[in-house]
Amino acid sequence: MIKKSFIGMAKPQLLCEALESVLPEPEKISISARATFLLKMPHGQSVGKSSFSFEEGDKVITGQKLALAAKSNEYIVSSVTGKISSIKPFEGNFGQMYTAISIETAQKEEKDKGFKQTVKNVTLENINKYLLNSPGCSSLGILSDSAKPINTIIISGMDKDLLVTTNQYILKSDINAVKKGIKILKEISGVGKILVAVPPHLMDEASVLNVRVKTVGLDYPAAFPELFMKNVLGTVLPAEKSCEDAGVCFLSCESVACLGNAFEKGEIPVEKTFTFIKKDGSNVLVSAKIGTPLVDIFRELGVSLRDKDRIIIGGPMTGFAVYSEDYPVMPDTDAVMVQDSADVSYASDYPCINCGECIRICPADVPVNMLVRLLEAELYDEAAEQYDLHSCIECGLCSYVCTARIPIFQYIRLAKHELACTRSGENHSAEEKNAK
């Protein structure tokens, strides 16, 4: 953990991890006895057994799609061959409901041919149908959203959070796949402008990709899309608008490499590479099948956990903690971090003392000191109107430096979530009125 130095006058500078020049070999995690997949459920939908096109005891083979019976775009792709042992509801962050599907793996692996038969057919439709659950690929769906036409694709070889080197590793180790992926992207999306954003030390690697390369410093949070757009592209994204609204789509190197590999090999990729951050802050790259429970990874890496330790999916600044070591590796798991109970920092219920540390560190110039006063009182609308709630890019730096240790970042996320809920509620009621 990076602490404040004795000379506290200067802003603390947090640097993202640069991948070393000698490429590390990722630790390969062998197939575990059980794999779990979390299928995202639409909001407000009750989950009955009949909602699924599959049930407990069914046989599943590698690469097989599992989806809801009702029309829903969400699906998962099994990374193993075996038998469904349980189907349970699972609640994630901010009340997002999932269905946890556990599969007991069989000895012999069989592969689903569904994707292979259509592999010649390189279309957006095919990608949406098979690849959205592949490592890092969930954002590929944006490309086929007709409501938000994309004119620029930015392929990011940067990692958003501290200590994470997953994307840098993919760019370095699998540059040919990235190249193929870019070719496919060009063909199917019809987007003329494709950029690659990399940290300065990967400039040489990226230059072989035959697209324009932009470098971004390693200082946190320069890799955030909003800041990238402002500093590199020179367009300031209006608050409350997403990059897609502005016609810019950010894809990770991993997803592009995945695209290249999938159509090359005719298989849906199911191996996820991610950074594992150990208790002492050192990190290793790990490659495991999607769905592998974290406990298997801990065992293979020789990481022992005790009571009151913390398991974090994602990096130290923006990740989220999970309460069970049975939590699986997901397609968007870029990092897994374990934290010793001695290093766990607690939030306090102190009020803001107006020291101004957050003001000075905020990359988006949000008046955090005033904002947090309103958020504590649940005045979300006023916070958004007067104190720029929606300008926040969610980097977590304000909480990191907060002297009073207020969980500011969580207050902000909660406020945004609540506002989104009320707004979608209003939309629903408006639709109902129209229907009447």
Site for other proteins in 187-246 (CB under 8 A): 226-227, 230, 236-241
Residues 6+ away with beta carbon under 8 Å from 269: 134, 135, 258, 261, 262
Interacting positions 63-102 with other proteins (CB under 8 A): none
CA atoms of 436 and 432, how far apart (whole Å): 6
Q: Helix, strand or coil for residue 67? A: strand
Asked if 341 is part of the footprint of other proteins (rule: CB under 8 A), the reply reads yes
Q: By C-beta, is 122 or 312 nearer to other proteins?
A: 312
**Which residue in the set 23, 208, 355, 430 belongs to the binding site for other proteins (CB under 8 A)?**
355
Interacting positions 280-299 with other proteins (CB under 8 A): 295
Residue 339 CB, shortest distance to other proteins, in Å, is 6
Dihedral angle of Cα 279, 283, 289, 291, to the nearest 10 degrees: 30
Asked if 301 is part of the footprint of other proteins (rule: CB under 8 A), the reply reads no
347-to-173, 249, 299, 359, 403 alpha-carbon distances in Å: 40, 35, 30, 19, 10
Residue 6 CB, shortest distance to other proteins, in Å, is 7
Residue 320 CB, shortest distance to other proteins, in Å, is 6
Residue-by-residue DSSP string for 33-59: SEEEEEEEPPTT----GGGBS--TT-E
| Angle between helical axes of 166-173 and 175-189 (0-180°, round to 10) | 90
**Total binding residues toward other proteins, as defined by CB under 8 A:** 80
CA atoms of 266 and 259, how far apart (whole Å): 10
**Which residue in the set 74, 104, 300, 309 belongs to the binding site for other proteins (CB under 8 A)?**
309
Q: By C-beta, is 190 or 356 nearer to other proteins?
A: 356
**Which residue in the set 46, 108, 323, 435 belongs to the binding site for other proteins (CB under 8 A)?**
323
Asked if 61 is part of the footprint of other proteins (rule: CB under 8 A), the reply reads no
Q: Which stretch binds other proteins (CB under 8 A): 44-52, 136-144, 257-265, 357-365?
A: 357-365
Residue 238 CB, shortest distance to other proteins, in Å, is 5
Asked if 399 is part of the footprint of other proteins (rule: CB under 8 A), the reply reads yes
- φ, ψ (nearest 5 deg) of residue 70: -70, 165
Q: Which stretch binds other proteins (CB under 8 A): 54-62, 74-82, 210-218, 398-406?
A: 398-406
Asked if 325 is part of the footprint of other proteins (rule: CB under 8 A), the reply reads yes
Q: Check: CB of residue 315 under 8 Å from CB of residue 160.
A: yes
**Which residue in the set 96, 410, 427, 429 belongs to the binding site for other proteins (CB under 8 A)?**
410
**Which residue in the set 135, 363, 380, 384 belongs to the binding site for other proteins (CB under 8 A)?**
363
Q: Which stretch binds other proteins (CB under 8 A): 171-179, 254-262, 328-336, 397-405?
A: 397-405
CA atoms of 34 and 183, how far apart (whole Å): 36
Q: Which stretch binds other proteins (CB under 8 A): 16-24, 71-79, 260-268, 311-319?
A: 311-319
Please give the DSSP secondary-structure letter assigned to residue 62.
B
**Which residue in the set 172, 180, 272, 413 belongs to the binding site for other proteins (CB under 8 A)?**
413
Spell out the alpha helix ranges (H) of 218-321.
225-228, 253-265, 294-301
Question: In this structure, are strands 310-313 and 320-322 parallel, antiparallel, or unpaired?
Answer: antiparallel
Q: By C-beta, is 241 or 423 nearer to other proteins?
A: 241
Task: Please work out, in degrees rounded to the nearest 5, the angle formed at the alpha carbon of residue 305 by the alpha carbons of 303 and 309.
Answer: 130
CA distance from start to end of the chain: 57
Residue 356 CB, shortest distance to other proteins, in Å, is 3
